[in-house]
Amino acid sequence: MNNPILRRLGAVARGAAILGLAVAAIAGCAKKESAAPAPAEPARPLAPTREQLLNANVAGVFEAPVTLTAGRYQGPPAEQGAASKPELSLWDSTIEFVDLDGTPPEEGIALLTSSGGGSGTFTHLGVFSVQDGKAGTLGIAPVGDRVQVFRLWHEPGKVLLDVVEPGPKDPACCPTQLARKSFGWREGKLQLLNSETVGGLSINLLAATDWMLVEMDGQPLAKGTMPPTTLIQYGKAAGFAGCSRYAAPITEASPGAIKFGQMTITPKACDGPASEIESAFLERMRAVNSYSFLAGRLLLVAPQDGQAPRTLLFSR
């Protein structure tokens, strides 16, 4: 190939071929790189569910961790043949979800009560997260022995409780001092941040709240029935009894000790379960002689001679 023009054209063709091979190789590498799977992102932590809290692992109440089943735990007796057993209950009515530590996801909070077989009944505040697919305690803090929790709520970074606790002159069984307690993280632990006395037990605490009956004598109301209610204020209790409306004066002889006066009934005809509920409700209301708070709910107690007292449990 002596022709210089032909030699030049051949050189150009060879260069183009080499360039084409290089471009194809680069494109192949790029295709391989784009086909490679991206590294998996770490799984995000999940907030616990209500169901998980009711079946959570709880540490910090007894010497060893325990597992709840439907919100309850009962262990073996401390001594062989003993009748009393350690028990732990998580109150479903107090479960809330809140970002307490400032880092997502939300934690679950709830009140628990424990007893070891003695006369004491201890209240605890628990904070829960999901650990290995199961809810467990992030922290647990004691609230007190035989305290009554009137209200639970939360603010950024803390949980607040209004409780009725024994005052300086109160026997342990019968608290009358109203205190406000706040709990939060301190030094990496859930702790009591502050507690102050804010008043005393009084039926004035019940005012401006429509209380709705949820249990009678420890048993939930039948499904499909309209629950009785009560509104207690200005020295009077009034509400819906199941069919009829009722009203009655109310007096408080001493903190926690109350009595309903003559009831006025506005009758309304009904039958079946509603009529039965109304009759049982009014019978117990007439016999009530005390009230207390159970995990934020109102408990009215009607004693019976030689028998277990009858009770009416209301939620807000």
Residue 292 clears pLDDT 60, i.e. is over it: yes
pTM tops 0.95, yes or no: no
Chain CA centroid to CA 313, Å: 17
Domain containing residue 231: CATH number: 2.40.128.270
Domain end point (choices 176, 201, 226): 201
Domain end point (choices 183, 201, 219): 201
Q: Same structural domain for residues 134 and 194?
A: yes
Please check whether residue 288 lies inside any domain of the structure: yes
Residue 205 clears pLDDT 60, i.e. is over it: yes
> Comparing 261 with 20, which gets the higher pLDDT?
261
What percentage of the chain has pLDDT greater than the value 70? 85
Task: Give the pLDDT of residue 38.
Answer: 60
Task: Give the pLDDT of residue 77.
Answer: 84
Q: What span, in angstroms and rounded, lies between the C-alpha atoms of 155 and 152?
A: 11
Strand, coil or helix: what is 296? coil
Domain count, the chain: 2
Q: What is the pLDDT of residues 29-76, one digit of tens each?
A: 445 445 556 655 545 578 899 999 999 999 999 999 999 999 999 998
Residue 9 clears pLDDT 80, i.e. is over it: no
Coarse DSSP helix, strand, coil percentages of the chain, rounded to the nearest 5 percent: 20, 45, 35
Residue 5 clears pLDDT 50, i.e. is over it: no
Q: What span, in angstroms and rounded, lies between the C-alpha atoms of 25 and 252?
A: 93
Task: Give the pLDDT of residue 132.
Answer: 87
Domain end point (choices 160, 177, 201): 201
Q: What is the mean pLDDT of residues 97-116?
A: 92
Positive or negative, the CA dihedral 120, 123, 129, 130 is: positive
The single-letter DSSP state of residue 41 is P
Q: What is the mean pLDDT of residues 91-106?
A: 92
Please check whether residue 279 lies inside any domain of the structure: yes
Q: What span, in angstroms and rounded, lies between the C-alpha atoms of 249 and 83?
A: 43
Q: What span, in angstroms and rounded, lies between the C-alpha atoms of 127 and 8?
A: 83
Q: Same structural domain for residues 145 and 276?
A: no
Task: Give the pLDDT of residue 39.
Answer: 57
Q: Same structural domain for residues 182 and 221?
A: no
Task: Give the pLDDT of residue 40.
Answer: 53
Question: If you average pLDDT over every residue of the chain, what do you get?
Answer: 88
Beta bridge partners of residue 109, listed in sequence order: 96, 127
Q: Same structural domain for residues 141 and 219?
A: no
Q: Same structural domain for residues 192 and 219?
A: no
Q: Same structural domain for residues 126 and 246?
A: no
Residue 27 clears pLDDT 80, i.e. is over it: no
Intra-chain end-to-end CA distance of the chain, in Å: 104
Q: Same structural domain for residues 103 and 135?
A: yes
Q: Same structural domain for residues 194 and 260?
A: no
Please check whether residue 39 lies inside any domain of the structure: no
Task: Give the pLDDT of residue 82.
Answer: 72
> Comparing 26 with 293, which gets the higher pLDDT?
293
Q: Same structural domain for residues 192 and 229?
A: no
Q: What is the pLDDT of residues 241-281, one digit of tens each?
A: 999 999 999 999 999 999 999 999 998 888 788 999 999 99
Task: Give the pLDDT of residue 83.
Answer: 72
**What's the token pair of residue 75?**
């262990």
Please check whether residue 27 lies inside any domain of the structure: no
- The pLDDT-based confidence of 103 (bands split at 50, 70, 90) is confident
Lowest-confidence range among 7-16, 164-173, 262-271? Answer: 7-16
Residue 19 clears pLDDT 60, i.e. is over it: no
Q: What is the pLDDT of residues 171-194, one digit of tens each?
A: 988 999 999 999 999 999 999 999
Task: Give the pLDDT of residue 17.
Answer: 46
Task: Give the pLDDT of residue 90.
Answer: 98
For tokens 């702790």, what's the residue?
A: 191
Q: Same structural domain for residues 223 and 301?
A: yes
Q: Same structural domain for residues 175 and 219?
A: no
Q: What is the mean pLDDT of residues 228-245?
A: 96
What residues make up the domain containing 168? Answer: 50-77+84-201
